[in-house]
Structure 1
Amino acid sequence: MEISTIFFYVLATVLVASGLLVITSRNAIHSALFLVLAFFTSGAIWMMLHAEFLAIAIVLIYVGAVMVLFLFVVMMLDINIDKMREGFWRYLPVGLIVALVMVGEMAMVLNGSYFHLEPAPGPTAAQSNTQDLAREMFTNYAYPFEIASLILLVAMIAAVALTFRRRQGLKNVDPAQQIAVKAADRMRIVSMPSAGEE
């Protein structure tokens, strides 16, 4: 067995174990840290596949930005874990059915004719996998890339709309009223005797 195969099996085992610990950990901070470990391990697997751009992107974007945001939100919010776990057993059968459907779909795709292709030649020294990735993304997969970007845009707008709530008791400033104000409405000149006058 080659050393690269041993490394792959070790990294795959760590990746699967950390993924399981993300969803089974009782502490939200521990789950986020196990997710960081999963991202680092998947980045290492991308490096073994000679996809350096994807490996660096997953570490910089997900670990450096997204996970910091997750940890910030988890630590700033007062999450009641007991209340979240109340409906776990009630929704477990539905979750198992969805999981079984997803596993069946993945098995059908992996056993289908999509993956019986000739292996692609590896990148040469003069070739950049970043250029190959960009060429494939913006030529052969241009429409799926645009659809994915539209879905992400709709998700971002939906997240903003869901978190926008009107709360009672907040003082809002109306810019139109501020502009329409006249000096006579806000200022009153009062004539008062000075201290020496009687």
Structure 2
Amino acid sequence: MDVKTGFFYLFSVVLLFSAFRVVTARNPVHAVLFLMLAFSQASAIWLLLNAEFLAITLVLVYLGAVMVLFLFVVMMLDINVDTLRQGFWKNFPLAATLGAVVAFEMTAVLMSGFRLSQAPVAAVAAGSAPVSNSKALGVLLYTEYLMPIQIAAAILLVAMVAAIALTLRQRKDSKAINPSIQVRVRAADRLQVVQMAATQVAPAPAPAAAEENK
């Protein structure tokens, strides 16, 4: 067994363990952390398969943005784990059936093999440097698939602007104060001075109250 195979088995074992802990962890924060570990191990396996673009994309997009967002959301939410686990055994038969079907399909694919005559290899001219798959993918995206890339970018831009517009809309239950109003505030608007006498004569007691006191 060479070094590359050893690293593959190491990353695979850690990936399977972290994926199992994502499902079995009781704390949602721990589950998110194990999911981030699983993504990092999958990225390492893609590096071993010479898929640098997919590995870096997984690290930047999922570990750097999506999973960090999930982690902050889970930490800020007050999740009652006991309430979520009340219907566990009720949904367990359906979940176990779906898991068994997925495991059977993956086993069938792995046991039958991928049936490739030979692995696809990029054509390299004699004496030239090896072609990077990241460079080849970039050239392909921005030449043959330039129009779909531009359309996808425009759709994502519209979605981002719409999300910002929905977030910045005025809410009726919000108690936020306009900063411009706070800047222009004056003491006369908040404080009113009332002239009152320094001392006042106590009122005379009522006749009924005087008789009760006697």
Q: By the TM > 0.5 criterion, same fold?
A: yes
Q: Which of 170, 175, 197 is the aligned partner of 2:173? A: 170
Is 1:127 aligned to residue 136 of structure 2?
A: no
Match for residue 44 of structure 1?
44
Report the Cα offset of residue 133 of structure 1: 3.5
Size of the aligned set, in residue pairs, is 155
Structure 1 pair 113–49 and aligned structure 2 pair: CA distance change class (3 A)? closer
Percent sequence identity is 43
**Measured at CA, do residues 98 and 115 of structure 1 come closer, stay the same or move farther in structure 2, by a change above 3 Å?**
same
Superimposed CA distance per residue, residues 135-167 of structure 1 (whole angstroms, 9 cap, x where no aligned partner): 777999x8xx99xx7xxx8xx8xxx8xxx9xxx
1:80 matched to 2:80: yes
Query: How many Å separate the matches in 2 of 1:89 and 1:123?
Result: 55
* Cα distance in 1 between the residues matched to 2:21 and 2:130: 41
**2: CA distance, partners of 1:103 / 1:120:** 28
Q: Cα distance, 1:87 vs. partner?
A: 0.5
1:1-198 equivalences under 5 Å are: 1-110=1-110, 114-121=114-121, 125-134=129-138, 170=173
Residue 116 and residue 86 in structure 1: after superposition, are their counterparts in 2 closer, same or farther (change >3 A)? same
SS state at 2:68 partner: helix
Task: Report the Cα offset of residue 54 of structure 1.
Answer: 1.2
Residue aligned with 2:50, SS = coil
| Residues 50-102 of structure 1: per-residue CA shift (max 9 Å, x gap) | 11111111111111101110011101111110000001111110001111222
- Contact kept, 8 Å, 1:123 with 1:129, in 2: the verdict is no
Which whole-Å deviations, capped at 9, do the CAs of 1:87-129 have from their partners, x for residues lacking one?
Answer: 1111110001111222233344445685434212268634121
Residues 53 and 130 of structure 1 are in contact (CA less than 8 Å); yes or no, is this contact kept in structure 2?
Answer: yes
- Residues 46/122 of structure 1: CA separation in 2 closer, same or farther (3 Å cut): farther
TM-score, normalising length: structure 1: 0.64
- Structure 1 residue runs of 5 or longer lacking an equivalent are 172-198
Q: Please report the RMSD computed on the Cα atoms of aligned residues, expressed in angstroms.
A: 3.5
The alpha carbon displacement at 1:19 in A equals 0.5
Residue type of the alignment partner of 2:6: I
TM-score of the two chains, using structure 2 as the length reference: 0.60
* Larger radius of gyration between Structure 1 and Structure 2: 2
Assess if the C-alpha contact under 8 Å between 2:46 and 2:55 holds in 1: yes
1:113 and 1:29 map into 2 onto residues whose CA distance is: 37
| Distance across 1 between alignment mates of 2:15 and 2:89 | 27
Structure 2 CA distance for aligned equivalents of residues 131 and 64 of structure 1: 22
Distance in 2 (CA, whole Å) between partners of 1:34 and 1:7 is: 19
